[in-house]
């Protein structure tokens, strides 16, 4: 497995590759990421995994500074999983126009960005303005660098997956997007790099988010169609159990628009904050697809 830090080395390494499979990540890899690598391996002859904590997708008060950076351990896991190339660029490789700013760190000067579709301002986008523009822009850059035939994204970030699929469609990119299922702890907790911010007790509590979504899914399967009341009840119960709910929302899985009576392919999405080890709050997201 090659570990590459520059775009020119990456292009040289990929020149003769007939079918490139790509898994973009921000590192701190867990079984969920490895599952995506396995899918890429089944669908391509050369698997590239990028590891880049993208400053453009973090808000000013978010965890960009503390996001876990574990390159060495990540590379060991990727080697064991059979990845061919790890692409781990630094910020100036990804954003060559970056400048240092004495008072508040770096200014990326990325004046051209991808404008995501309006759905990007709902759900996670409502409390993370600019997040999906940052994601779409870095993914477009990575697609241009890696030029994969297929790319694998996890369903855990359902809204992100939706926006990337839309970007590929609207920009006519010759890339097949494959969705990987969410990997979960035995408790139901969706695997996430941010789970590392939680101690054992907080991890136990964090399974309540998935339990709340499971409960809604069951109600939907039982024929309940009062979506607003299902959403409100779940949010109230979590808030009473020391969560700070951002949203619980029942949507059409195909359009991500609010569910309508009679919709058969639904997705129940949730985002909520839980107290963490560091004396702050960790924002967790999860979703469940429900076919009725």
Catalytically active residues, by annotation: 33
Using an 8 Å Cβ cutoff, are 177 and 164 in contact? yes
Distances (CA, A) of 241 to 216, 234, 272: 17, 11, 11
Judged by CB, which is closer to ligand PAF: 25, or 276?
25
Helix (H) / strand (E) element for 46: namely strand 46-51
Nearest distance in Å: CB 279, ligand PAF: 25
- Does 246 participate in binding ligand PAF (rule CB under 6 A)? no
Judged by CB, which is closer to ligand PAF: 14, or 138?
138
Of 159, 179, 197, 190, nearest to 277 by C-alpha is: 197
The correct pick among 123, 138, 183, 267 for binding ligand PAF (CB under 6 A) is: 138
Q: Which residues pair with 90 in a beta bridge?
A: none
The correct pick among 84, 157, 263, 286 for binding ligand PAF (CB under 6 A) is: 157
CA dist., res. 226 & res. 261, Å (int): 8
Nearest distance in Å: CB 258, ligand PAF: 24
C-alpha dihedral (99, 105, 110, 113), degrees to nearest 10? 180
Judged by CB, which is closer to ligand PAF: 4, or 26?
26
Nearest distance in Å: CB 264, ligand PAF: 28
CA dist., res. 1 & res. 79, Å (int): 6
- Does 139 participate in binding ligand PAF (rule CB under 6 A)? yes
Judged by CB, which is closer to ligand PAF: 129, or 239?
129
Nearest distance in Å: CB 164, ligand PAF: 7
Site string for ligand PAF, 25-44 (x = CB under 6 A): xx------------------
Nearest distance in Å: CB 245, ligand PAF: 22
Sheet of 244-252, strand order: 244-252, 265-275, 281-291
Judged by CB, which is closer to ligand PAF: 151, or 259?
151
- Does 135 participate in binding ligand PAF (rule CB under 6 A)? yes
Judged by CB, which is closer to ligand PAF: 138, or 183?
138
CA dist., res. 130 & res. 120, Å (int): 8
Q: How many residues sit in the footprint of ligand PAF (CB under 6 A)?
A: 10
Nearest distance in Å: CB 146, ligand PAF: 12
HSE value, Cβ hemisphere, 13 Å, CA-based, for 118: 2
Distances (CA, A) of 9 to 13, 76, 277: 6, 21, 40
Residues 53-82 binding ligand PAF (CB under 6 A) are 54, 57
Q: Which two tokens stand for residue 95?
A: 């954003």
The footprint of ligand PAF (CB under 6 A) covers 24-26, 54, 57, 135, 138-139, 157, 160
């Amino acid at each position: 497995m090659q570990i590459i830090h520059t775009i020119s080395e990456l292009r040289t390494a990929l020149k003769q590759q007939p079918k490139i499979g790509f898994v973009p990540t921000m590192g701190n890899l867990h079984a969920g990421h490895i599952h995506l690598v396995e899918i890429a391996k089944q669908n391509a002859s050369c698997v590239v995994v990028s590891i880049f904590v993208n400053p453009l997708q973090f808000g000013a008060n978010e965890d960009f500074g503390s996001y876990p950076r574990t390159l060495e351990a990540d590379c060991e896991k990727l080697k064991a999983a059979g990845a061919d190339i790890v692409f781990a660029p630094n910020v100036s490789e990804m954003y060559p126009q970056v400048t240092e700013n004495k008072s508040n760190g770096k200014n990326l000067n990325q004046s051209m960005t991808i404008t995501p579709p309006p759905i990007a301002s709902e759900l996670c986008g409502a409390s993370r303005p600019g997040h999906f523009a940052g994601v779409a822009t870095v993914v477009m850059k990575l697609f241009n660098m890696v030029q994969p035939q297929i790319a694998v994204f996890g369903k855990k970030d359902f809204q992100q997956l939706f926006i990337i699929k839309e970007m590929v469609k609207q920009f006519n990119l010759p890339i097949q997007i494959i969705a990987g299922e969410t990997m979960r702890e035995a408790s139901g907790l969706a695997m996430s790099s941010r789970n590392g911010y939680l101690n054992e007790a907080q991890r136990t509590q964090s399974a309540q988010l998935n339990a709340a979504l499971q409960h809604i899914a069951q109600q939907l399967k039982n024929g309940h169609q009062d979506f607003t009341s299902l959403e409100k009840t779940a949010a109230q119960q979590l808030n009473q159990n020391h969560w700070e709910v951002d949203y619980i929302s029942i949507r059409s899985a195909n359009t991500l628009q609010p569910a309508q009576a009679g919709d058969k392919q639904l997705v129940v999405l949730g985002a909520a904050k839980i107290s963490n080890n560091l004396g702050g709050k960790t924002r967790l997201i999860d979703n469940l697809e429900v076919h009725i």
